[in-house]
Amino acid sequence: MPRPAQAGHSLLHDNRALMKIAVSGGTGFIGQALAARLRERGDEVLVLPRNWTAAGDVASADAVINLAGENVAGGRWTAKRKRRILESRLKETDALVNARPRALISASAVGFYGPRGDEVLDESANAGSGFLADVTRQWEAAAHRADEFARVVIFRFGVVLGRDGGALKQMMLPFRFGAGGPIGSGRQWMSWVDREDVLRAIEWAINHPAVRGTYNITAPEPVRNGDFAHALGRAMHRPSFLPTPGFALRLVFGEMADEMLLGGQRVVPNRTTREGFSFRYPTLDASLAANFAR
């Protein structure tokens, strides 16, 4: 397969033709920023509402970005919430595939790998076990139904960091009150990525037809949860020594605590970097410094 072009300071080409791009999930933490960025570069952006019916617009788009899905960290995983989490992803992905897009860039997550301790996981690693692994496996399979007629790209995102939303905004709250610190033992791995690099990776995939298949979109240097807490404390100039006990998290969040908070994955973007994408924020300190300077 041809090697995609290097992603440098700018992914735009002066003579690049303007594109029509459809975004599913375009009002979310990533989607809203992506839609604004694509409009800034001159593209026509169609943000698909829930229960959209614009199949013709999707089919005629140069690329479709699939970011839709209920927030997995929005509350305790009851049986009802689990169904909504899965069905929200499959329903939207099936609708996009049925519209027969030319190129489909579909989100997934590192939860695909399941909790794996210290094992280093690149794109060749097998799926793990657990609810999130099952959800992402089905989600990716739904997107791959388009392989016969479209260029399909699957991006497995880590924890996406942006000060104005997502996980980082939630994690900052206890630090503001001097109660920040590691979660549980703090030994579990966190695979993270700056939102700026998520947007740049999506642009990279849009711009380069040789990009296809599955990529980890995680910074090259995952960190342990305790190290993340200390780095966040330094960035916020707040203490970071008060741990949150695992048993308390299990009482509040149940199964979600073990998979999302107390478990983790040590994921690396080997294929992503090998094929030419360069992370602007490869280290956590660099990402946090940029976020708190914005």
Check which CATH number belongs to the domain holding 46 and give it. Answer: 3.40.50.720
Summary mean pLDDT of the chain = 92
Tell whether 260 is covered by a domain: yes
Overall domain count for the chain: 1
Strand partners, 267: 121
Average pLDDT over residues 232-237: 96
Q: What is the mean pLDDT of residues 84-93?
A: 96
Residue 294 confidence (pLDDT): 75
pLDDT confidence of 4, banded at 50, 70, 90? low
| Residue at 159 is within a domain | yes
121 is a domain residue:
yes
Is the pLDDT reported for residue 91 higher than 50?
yes
Instruction: Kindly report the number of other CB atoms within 10 A of residue 291's CB atom.
Output: 20
Whole-number pLDDT of residue 12: 44
Q: Which of 12, 211, 244 has its CA nearest to residue 104?
A: 211
Residue 256, CA distances (Å) to 72, 81, 113, 168, 242 in order: 9, 11, 15, 18, 21
Residue 14: its pLDDT value, please?
A: 47
Q: Across residues 192-198, what is the average pLDDT?
A: 98
**What is the reported pLDDT for 51?**
77
Is the pLDDT reported for residue 247 higher than 90? no
Q: What is the pLDDT of residues 128-141, one digit of tens each?
A: 999 999 999 999 99
Residue 156 has pLDDT above 50, yes or no: yes
C-alpha torsion sign, points 40, 41, 44, 45: negative
Residue 5 lies in a domain: no
Q: What pLDDT is recorded for position 15?
A: 58
In this predicted structure, which of 5-9, 51-55, 118-122 has the lowest mean pLDDT?
A: 5-9
Q: What does the alpha-carbon distance between residue 228 and residue 240 come to, in Å, rounded to a whole number? A: 10
The per-residue pLDDT for 52 is: 83
Residue 2 falls inside a structural domain? no
**Residues sharing a CB contact under 8 Å with residue 75, sequence separation 6 or more, in sequence order:** 81
What's the confidence (pLDDT) of residue 280?
Answer: 98
Domain range holding 56? 20-293
In whole angstroms, what is the distance from residue 73 CA to residue 71 CA?
5
Identify the pLDDT of residue 57.
85
The pLDDT score that the predictor gives to residue 55 is: 85
Mean pLDDT of all residues in 267-272? 98
15 in any annotated domain: no
